[in-house]
């Protein structure tokens, strides 16, 4: 038998082993564990603020850790930092490339980043000496579009790309520290674990991967979706991962049981999930869809308990502030809305 054939057989055998090992610990289901609790009552959130100012589709937003400021990116070629309480624009940063797809706020509040079809991640210093916001670094090496970026600190950022890889960068030197390769399709989204030791990526190969940042390895791969994964997030305690896909469903995968525990789906929902964010207790899952709505799910009972209807076009991004006080949605209708 040739070596290729041997390797193929070994790969198939290992895949069967993984399937069997996952089944072996499947002594129950999340439905059973949650059988004794009642579905949360109808959740009715109201729009408290509308952030107006972008002139084109909004593609991404990210809260600052202070739960007050947030940054949004639009294909009008601007990054805007908003005070969500006063609705004032703290900064309006013109971008070199208007084809932006993602933005991020550093945990310190000092930096923001963005990127898109320019294949680069640009880092901006909000706290420069003369008060002007300037490009601090341009991280270039990806051979595909930048789909998502998230800061670990002021000196490190992780990016995901249409070139099927994720990269850990040293912002100071502008170099790649680690390339995380393994996905067989465009990487669409990433999220960092609460302890900053791991990150997860969702891709167009329909899988989500858990990566150990310092070991530079892929620990686990989760399948089950029937189309591209567009959105991904950690359950607040860091032990589970939630994904949103073009197959119109969201799924929750437990990291320690190494398998899917539940799917959030409804026969009435037939359009793709674009974005998602859990509430701070994890009990609510807010997910944005192509049909202009955000559906609110009871994460333990997998039932829809609310809808945020207010945008006139696709909801492209969603985020819950760190203190859990509000949810922000961004849309192709050029507006951001703050709800609670």
Partner 1 sequence: MSNNSAANSSLVIAQKAVKQLRLEASVRRIKVSQAAAELKTFCLQNAHKDPLLTGVPSSDNPFRPPKSCVLL
The least distance separating partner 1 from the CB of residue 124, rounded to whole angstroms, comes to: 26
Q: How far is the CB of 135 from partner 1 (least distance, A)?
A: 32
Q: Which is nearer to partner 1, 154 or 258 (CB)?
A: 258
- C-beta closer to partner 1: residue 33 or 271: 33
CA dihedral 189, 193, 198, 200 (to 10 degrees): -20
Closest CA to 263 of 304, 203, 202, 316: 304
Q: Which residues bind partner 1 (CB under 8 A)?
A: 3-4, 7-8, 10-11, 14-15, 17-18, 21-22, 24-30, 32-34, 37, 40, 43, 45, 48-49, 68, 84-85, 182, 217-221, 235-237, 239-240, 254, 256-259, 261, 279-284, 286, 299-300, 320, 323-327, 338, 340
CA distance 109 to 272: 32
- Rounded CA separation 278/257 (Å): 20
CB of 169 to partner 1, least distance (A): 23
Please, what is the minimum distance in Å from the beta carbon of residue 44 to partner 1? Answer: 9
| Smallest distance, partner 1 to C-beta of residue 155, A | 29
Angle of CA points 22, 23, 26, to nearest 5°: 95
- In whole angstroms, the minimum distance from the beta carbon of 52 to partner 1 comes to 16
Which is nearer to partner 1, 179 or 280 (by Cβ)? Answer: 280
Buried b (16+ CB within 10 A) or exposed e, 211-223: bebeeeebebebe
Phi, psi of 294 (to 5 degrees): -115, 125
CA distances for 291 relative to 1, 54, 102, 271, 337, angstroms: 52, 21, 21, 6, 17
Residue closer to partner 1, measured from CB, 129 or 256: 256
Q: How many C-beta atoms surround the C-beta of residue 196 within 10 A? A: 15
* Residue closer to partner 1, measured from CB, 271 or 280: 280
- Cβ proximity to partner 1, 45 vs 121, nearer residue: 45
């Amino acid at each position: 038998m040739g070596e290729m054939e041997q390797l193929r057989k070994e790969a198939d055998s290992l895949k069967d082993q993984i399937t069997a090992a996952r089944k072996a610990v499947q002594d129950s289901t999340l439905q059973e564990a949650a059988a004794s609790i009642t579905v949360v009552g109808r959740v009715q959130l109201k729009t408290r603020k509308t952030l107006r100012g972008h002139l084109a589709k909004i593609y991404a937003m990210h809260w600052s850790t202070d739960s007050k400021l947030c940054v949004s990116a639009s294909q009008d070629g601007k990054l805007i930092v908003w005070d969500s309480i006063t609705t004032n624009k703290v900064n309006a940063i013109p971008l070199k490339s208007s084809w932006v797809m993602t933005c991020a706020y550093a945990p310190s509040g000092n930096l923001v980043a963005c990127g898109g079809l320019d294949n680069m991640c640009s880092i901006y210093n909000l706290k420069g000496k003369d008060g002007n916001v300037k490009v601090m670094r341009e991280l270039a090496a990806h051979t595909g579009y930048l789909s998502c970026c998230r800061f670990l600190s002021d000196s490190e950022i992780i990016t995901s790309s249409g070139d099927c890889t994720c990269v850990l960068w040293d912002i100071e030197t502008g170099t790649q520290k680690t390339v995380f390769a393994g996905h067989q399709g465009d990487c669409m989204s990433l999220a960092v674990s609460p302890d900053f030791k791991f990150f997860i990526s969702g891709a167009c190969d329909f899988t989500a991967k858990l990566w150990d940042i310092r070991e530079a390895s892929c620990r686990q791969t989760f399948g089950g979706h029937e189309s591209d994964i567009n959105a991904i997030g950690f359950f607040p305690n860091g032990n589970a991962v939630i994904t949103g896909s073009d197959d119109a469903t969201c799924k929750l995968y437990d990291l320690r049981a190494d398998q899917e525990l539940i799917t959030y789906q409804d026969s009435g929902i037939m359009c793709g999930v674009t974005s998602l964010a859990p509430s701070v207790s994890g009990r609510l899952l807010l997910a944005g869809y192509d049909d202009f709505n955000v559906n609110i799910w009871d994460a333990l009972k997998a039932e829809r308990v609310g809808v945020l209807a207010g945008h006139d076009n696709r909801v492209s991004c969603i985020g819950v502030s760190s203190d859990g006080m509000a949810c922000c949605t961004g849309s192709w209708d050029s507006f951001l809305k703050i709800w609670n």
